[in-house]
Structure formats: C-alpha cells, structure tokens
Amino acid sequence: MEDITSNFDLVLKAFWLTLQLLVLSGIASLILGTVLAAMRVGPISVLRKAGAAYVTIVRNTPLLIVFVFVFIAAAKLGWFVGTPFVIKGVAALTIYTSAFVCEAVRSGVNSVSLGQAEASRAIGLTFSQSMQFVVLPQSFRAVVPPLASVLIALAKNTSVAAAFGLMEATARMRYFTNNNADDRLWIFLVFAVGYIIIVELMSVGAMSLERRWKVAR
C-alpha cells in the first residue's frame, strides 16, 4: 500500500483518463445511437436496413475485436492514422456502445403511442421534426433505466483500453500489482472502490433523473 499512497497522483490520473473515455464515448454513443434508432424506425427502407445491419454486426462482435480493428486493422485502410490513442479508444467504445444505445432508444420510441406521431404529422411536421420535438423527448423518459445500464457497462468496458497502451485505471492497477506482488489484494480493493464510486454516482444520477421526469409527467 505504501507504493500506492506515495504515488496516489498516478491513481488519480488513471481514473481521470477512465472518466475521459467514459464521458467522451458516452456522449458520442448517445448521439450515434439515437441517430441509428431514428434510422431503424424511419420510413426509408435503405436506412432501416443499414441501421439494423450495423446493430446486428456490432452487438455480435466482442469489444476486443472492435478495439483491434480501430487500433490495428483500420490503419491499414488509412483510417485513424496519426490519431491519439485516447481518440482511438473513444472511437472503439463509441462504435460498440452506440449499438446498445440504439436498441434502448428504439424500445423507447416504440413505447410512444402511434397517435402521437400521427398527430405531429397531421399538423405538418416532417419525420425528423416529429422525432425531435414529439417522439424522442417522450421516449428518453421511458428508457432512463436501460440507458443507465448501457452506460454503466461502458464504464466497465473502458478497462479493455488497458490492452492497447492507454494508462487508465485497469492498466495502472496492473502496473502496481506487477511491482508489488505481495499487496495485490489491497491494490485490487483500492481500484475496485474507484470503479464502484463511478458506477454508484451514475446509478444515483440515473435514479434522480428518472424520479424528476416521472414527476414532470
């Protein structure tokens, strides 16, 4: 434990990188996942099929394979060349997580009464306007719990970045355990508590948002 306490700034930097990966990829996944959900419920057949194909392929692909593609295979195609590792990590996590966000949002869209969409179209709103102003605001209220679960899974999935040169929390934990084999249990506990704090803060935030939106309804 002495090594951790004397180098606690490294622990904080590691969790700061974990939070960066979580926040940046979380925001990007919510945006891309919402766009994919709109494609999947939209009137254009080609976009519906493209959205469905993306979700099917990504959801059935291990996250590690997505990281390998972004960090190694994509460079051979001329993609992400010279891109910082953090951005590559965010891209890999976004590609993977957005598929799950899409399905969560799509379930919320399907829970909105069809009459709501028909009424919005009757007053002259386009499909995109109907989704933006009528359907999505209602669907997001219904999918707070599943979206929270997706983002909590994302928080834990950031650990995969440790295998690709990003010194986030899991990579730093491995560094400490390699140098202090006798203190592995305490090192695991310190980093586990860090992850628990992040997840619990997200859970509390989601529950607070869910209660507030229930009152608003």
Instruction: Identify the CATH number of the domain in which residue 9 sits.
Output: 1.10.3720.10
Residues 98 and 36: beta-carbon distance below 8 Å: yes
Q: Which range of residues forms the domain containing residue 167?
A: 2-216
Q: What is the predicted pLDDT for the residue at 169?
A: 93
Percent of the chain residues topping a pLDDT of 70: 97
User: Does the global pTM surpass 0.85?
Assistant: yes
Q: What is the predicted pLDDT for the residue at 147?
A: 93
155 CA to centre of own chain:
7
183 CA to centre of own chain:
32
- Rounded to an integer, the average pLDDT of 102-106 is 93
**Domain count within the chain:** 1
- Rounded to an integer, the average pLDDT of 171-187 is 86
Look at residue 20 and tell me whether its pLDDT is greater than 60.
yes
- Residue 108 tokens, joined: 């919320």
Q: Which of 30-39, 43-52, 104-113, 169-178 has the lowest mean pLDDT?
A: 104-113
Look at residue 216 and tell me whether its pLDDT is greater than 60.
no
Burial of 180: CB neighbours in 10 Å, binned 0-12, 13-18, 19+: middle
Residues 49 and 41: beta-carbon distance below 8 Å: no
Look at residue 215 and tell me whether its pLDDT is greater than 70.
no
pLDDT-derived band of residue 117, with 50, 70 and 90 as boundaries? confident
Percent of the chain residues topping a pLDDT of 90: 59
Single-letter amino acid, residue 194: G
